[in-house]
Structure 1
Amino acid sequence: MILRRWRGAVRAEDAEAYLAHQDETGVRAYRETPGNLGVLVLRRPVGDLVEVVTLSLWNSMDAVRRFAGDQPEVAVFYPGDDDLLVEKDLHVDHHEVVDADLDRALQLRAE
């Protein structure tokens, strides 16, 4: 399993608008790509900004390439991103997942 990690930041007053925009664009594209196993969107205040980290899980690098193209280390952006993002990583990191207890995390979240 592959974990894809991207980060960006928005002004605090734009956080909800950006999260909705991201859900309608990138997160939707993740979910519609064969081989996507799920996505986590994280946010936290950092100074005057809100940092957004997106973690997506994939069954292989081939699946990542179906989403991101021939250069999966290059971030994918959508129309409207530049209107909201103050910071954006142009590079995406990929990690091989060697251990995960996602069933436990989902069970704890439901409690």
Structure 2
Amino acid sequence: MCFSPPITFPTAGTVLVSKTQTTVTWDATGAPVNISNKALLMLRKGDLTAPFILAEGFDLRKGSLDITVPNVLADTDYEFVLLGDSGNFSPTFTIQSDVPA
């Protein structure tokens, strides 16, 4: 059984600021008891995902994860990718940064 929890934050149009803390959330309702704890959160820009690994080895059943927004190019085409038993993408959001696009 694959568990593919929808990411609930950030939502479409959210603006995050590099080098600040944020909490990524997902709906863990109905998570199987024997789910993998080897989850991975990555940052995707446009159609490039690697090598932006933000966190790994956390429990998908928790439903949230605190991260530091990476200091990347300022742009409007970012997504988080949540991997574990299955993969799921967040809606597209913006990162404001002092690194110009």
Which structure: larger Rg?
A: 1
TM-score exceeds 0.5:
no
Place the TM-score, normalised by the shorter chain, in its bin.
0.3 to 0.5
Normalising to structure 1: TM-score of the pair? 0.34
Structure with greater strand percent: 2
